[in-house]
Amino acid sequence: MIHIEIQTPDDWHLHFRDGDMLNETVSATARCFKRAIVMPNLVPPVTNAKMVEEYRQRILDARPEGSDFEPLMTLYLTNETTSEDIIAAKQAGTVAAKLYPAGATTNSDAAVKSLDALFPIFGEMQNQGMLLLIHGEVTDNHIDIFDREKEFIDRNLTRIVSAFPELKIVFEHITTKDAVDFVVAANDNVAATITPQHLLLNRNDLLVGGVRPHNYCLPVLKRNIHQQALREIVATGNKKFFLGTDSAPHEKNKKESACGCAGCYSAWSAIELYTQVFDELGALDKLEGFASHHGADFYGLPRNEGTITLVKEDWTIPEQIILSNGNPIVPFFAGQNCNWKLKV
């Protein structure tokens, strides 16, 4: 039997949601990841230290029996965020703050409308050693949705990086060759996460033969040359790129809708699908760096102890998951084959 063993991995970007949903999402992630960077785009968003601490406790309470899973918490930036908020959040153990341009994605309406007004806050984060996580898309109506990431780099990211050379910045869930090139060329305080869907799919998988709402996420899937660039960079083992699933559940009726939500719920298959991609690329030896080393090193956290084992074995990703409220979620890659399986 073909198998590989890697040091226990972490997920550097995901959405757990809240309430009853936590029993589902925390278990799914804790089955293989030791830590995860938890996104703060709840309703209402997680905008201060008290909310961070309370949310962290709800996640800890939702862990399966005996789990030592550790949530790494983030603060949601708005134009009302103050330096005091940053200092208090840091003292409460918050590792990073998340920049959503207002309107860019799910639950981002309350987020940042004026980026420049936030520069003093970035300065405070740099002083405090708090990372800045960026959803890098502009939101102007006249900018084509497929160009919004590149436009954000040209208009905003370049300026932020040069103004704050000591601020650690993660360009989240990158989707384009432009983003790859930018991160490669930037200083060592700039890194990026990459999702399974952006490695596995391109926009044809969203639109050819009918609209596929379960492949709809933001930033939206791009053309195949961009998918190719993401695959090529992870195959090199470059330490600026690491695993962030962006696992983002929405109930089935919210995805299969006239105005469907963005987000792929990948937690039950992400580590397996990443392994499949690295195998296809002939780069299985680079999986451990991507999944278990580069993120921890960039965040300045210790690498995990322990290992997980993946076995080369076919299985079918379930068509649906039923939540405790009886409503279904369609997981990412539902009904499709995956040829690597986590050994439990």
Phi and psi angles of residue 132, each rounded to the nearest 5 degrees, phi first: -110, 120
Residue 124 makes contact with Zn ion by CB under 5 A? no
> What is the DSSP annotation of 164-231?
-TTS-EEE-S--SHHHHHHHHHS-TTEEEEE-HHHHH--THHHHTTS--GGG--SSPP--HHHHHHHH
Instruction: Report yes or no: 332 and 214 within 8 Å, Cβ to Cβ.
Output: yes
- Of residues 59 through 98, those in contact with ligand NCD by CB under 6 A are none
Minimum CB separation from ligand NCD for residue 109, in Å?
Answer: 12
Minimum CB separation from ligand NCD for residue 191, in Å?
Answer: 17
- Identify residue 3 by its one-letter amino acid code: H
Residue 45 makes contact with ligand NCD by CB under 6 A? no
Residue 105 makes contact with ligand NCD by CB under 6 A? yes
Residue 189 makes contact with ligand NCD by CB under 6 A? no
- Tell me whether residue 48 or residue 193 sits nearer to Zn ion (CB atom): 193
How many residues form the binding site for Zn ion (CB under 5 A)? 1
| Structure tokens given for 117 | 């007004």
- Of residues 236 through 255, those in contact with ligand NCD by CB under 6 A are 246, 248
Binding mask 129-168 for Zn ion (x = CB under 5 A): ----------------------------------------
State how far the alpha carbon of 195 is from the alpha carbons of 137, 174, 339, in Å.
Answer: 16, 8, 18
CB atoms within 10 A of CB 80: 9
Say whether the peptide bond before residue 328 is cis (omega within 30 degrees of 0).
no
- Please pick, among 11, 144, 246, 279, the residue that the annotation labels catalytic: 246
Minimum CB separation from Zn ion for residue 292, in Å?
Answer: 20
Instruction: Report yes or no: 79 and 114 within 8 Å, Cβ to Cβ.
Output: yes
Nearest-5° angle of CA 341, CA 31, CA 335?
45
Residue 304 makes contact with ligand NCD by CB under 6 A? no
How many residues form the binding site for ligand NCD (CB under 6 A)? 11
Phi and psi angles of residue 154, each rounded to the nearest 5 degrees, phi first: -65, -40
Residue 217 makes contact with ligand NCD by CB under 6 A? yes
Binding mask 232-261 for Zn ion (x = CB under 5 A): --------------x---------------
- Tell me whether residue 173 or residue 286 sits nearer to ligand NCD (CB atom): 173
* Angle separating helix axes 119-128 and 83-91, nearest 10 degrees: 30
Among 7, 106, 176, 189, binds ligand NCD (CB under 6 A): 106
Residue 49 contact partner, candidates Zn ion, ligand NCD, none, CB within 5 to 8 A by sort of partner: none
- Tell me whether residue 289 or residue 331 sits nearer to ligand NCD (CB atom): 331
Residue 262 contact partner, candidates ligand NCD, Zn ion, none, CB within 5 to 8 A by sort of partner: ligand NCD
246 an active-site residue? yes
Instruction: Report yes or no: 224 and 198 within 8 Å, Cβ to Cβ.
Output: no
Say whether the peptide bond before residue 219 is cis (omega within 30 degrees of 0).
yes
Which residues lie near Zn ion (CB under 5 A)?
246
Which residues lie near ligand NCD (CB under 6 A)?
15, 41, 105-106, 135, 217-218, 246, 248, 262-263
Catalytic residues: 246
